[in-house]
Structure 1
């Protein structure tokens, strides 16, 4: 688990094809690795990776085909800057929100505009994730815990202050940039809980859709 508060900007030093997937070497910059052991988790642009080697100034991790398929990791190359966060501990200050490091989908930056000293971003999520994104709710973008300022369909807006721009890779974002998105854990689990016993049925388990008809049939809406 993570908090979505980025601890360091690192960079991809190497991406090595290995047995059908990829092994990546991440140079970790100012991230303190003194308490990191083999097998520990580190979020890279919001993707939870396991450290399999620790050369000193970074770590090696294996990136599966599944991760390459469902995240923007496929767009990274040697020299790409990345957001880094170590897994939280029982004494970690929870400054953002609970983040699993399991990416729900790949979004896209639509526009970038100045807003006083901040930057206003408009982003588009995959259609199937739109129902989890709410005004003033939390969303994770490339591992960064952020507050949604406006929502219009599958598009949402974020106002990013100078500190966040400096301490994350968001300063690099331009229109067309692909981003890893993780929706709020509570929203995702709430949807599943609302299904009740029907969660065991194959169709809801795969589609996971809560419709107005479903809510009415199960007593969640009053006529």
Structure 2
């Protein structure tokens, strides 16, 4: 489980095709001795399991493997060497919950339909997948490429957010542009509330 608060802007060192899908090596400032093989790290919002790691004079790194389903449902299939990746280590008991509860289970891809740069913020508009749109509410929370963000407006499949300069500095959001496909995870509380309402309605 995660909070949607990005704690490192990693960089992809290399990507390799493997029988199970894709293996990615990511450079990080994390002390890799502080977590074990098998630990969970959210990479651009997708929960991945660490399969290899090393602290190195040339830069610390860890590796993750992405299965075929992950490649089909997220933007991981488009990852390439040199790309910046939003990273967050899994939540520990007693840690500050600065964002909202995030599982790292992406619901689908949201497309950037508009970007407007302002002096003190950047406005992004997205088109949500039809199956995820009902769970996105004005002033609610969403995780986009692993960053916990507050929804500004919602109209049909379209929704928008504003990003402050700090978020742009510590994440890869400064590079996002119209047409980009973004990993979207809706608020888990909205999903459970909808499921409960469905059961209440049916009997």
TM-score higher than 0.5 here? Answer: yes
Q: Any residues of structure 2 matched to 1:195-214 within 5 Å, and which?
A: 195-196=198-199
Alpha-carbon separation, structure 1, partners of 2:76 and 2:126: 18
**TM-score, scaled relative to structure 2:** 0.94
Equivalence for 1:105? 108
**Gap regions ≥5 residues in structure 2:** none
- The answer on whether the counterparts of 2:12 and 2:27 sit within 8 Å (CA) in structure 1 is yes
* Structure 2 residue matching 1:89: 3-state secondary structure: coil
Equivalence for 1:211? none
**TM-score, scaled relative to structure 1:** 0.86
Equivalence for 1:194? 197
| Cα deviation, residue 108, structure 1 | 0.9
Greater Rg, structure 1 or structure 2? 1
Report whether the alignment pairs 1:17 with 2:17. yes
- The answer on whether the counterparts of 1:7 and 1:31 sit within 8 Å (CA) in structure 2 is no
| Cα deviation, residue 107, structure 1 | 0.9
Equivalence for 1:170? 173
- The answer on whether the counterparts of 2:32 and 2:62 sit within 8 Å (CA) in structure 1 is no
- The answer on whether the counterparts of 2:12 and 2:84 sit within 8 Å (CA) in structure 1 is yes
Instruction: Tell which has more relative contact order, 1 or 2 (C-alpha 8 A, sep 6+).
Output: 2
| Structure 1 runs of 4+ with >4 Å offset | none
Alpha-carbon separation, structure 2, partners of 1:123 and 1:143: 15
Alpha-carbon separation, structure 1, partners of 2:184 and 2:30: 23
Alpha-carbon separation, structure 1, partners of 2:89 and 2:168: 20
**Gap regions ≥5 residues in structure 1:** 198-214, 219-223
Equivalence for 1:26? 26
Q: CA RMSD, aligned part only?
A: 1.4
Instruction: Give the number of aligned pairs.
Output: 199
